[in-house]
Amino acid sequence: MIGARHANFLLNVRGATASDIRRLAEHASRQVHDRFGVQLEEEALYLGDWSQWQTTGDLSHS
């Protein structure tokens, strides 16, 4: 879930996987872009092998 006190915090409250959390971050970023026209810059560092990760949408073309 997205933190209620600060939207910059993504919380795992029900056993989400790392991929679930990353999808939530992408979803939040898309929503901000669609609503406000602002592209967020991610500060998170993803550990492990994410070379096969497929994003759910590229905002850089907008």
Contact 28, 2 (CB under 8 A): yes
Does residue 49 fall inside a structural domain? no
**Whole-number pLDDT of residue 61:** 41
Reported as type and span, the H/E element at residue 34 is helix 18-36
| Residue 48: inside a domain | no
pLDDT at residue 27 in the model: 93
pTM of the prediction? Answer: 0.79
| CA dihedral over 34, 37, 32, 22, signed as positive or negative | positive
pLDDT for res 16? 94
CA pair distance 52, 43, nearest whole angstrom: 20
Indicate whether 61 belongs to any domain. Answer: no
Residue 22 included in any domain: yes
Please write the tens of the pLDDT for every residue from 6-62: 988 999 999 999 999 999 999 999 999 999 999 999 888 888 888 888 887 655 444
59 domain residue, yes or no: no
| Distance, CA of 11 to CA of 22 (rounded, Å) | 11
Q: How many domains is the chain partitioned into structurally? A: 1
| pLDDT for 55 | 82
**Which domain covers residue 25, as residue numbers?**
1-41
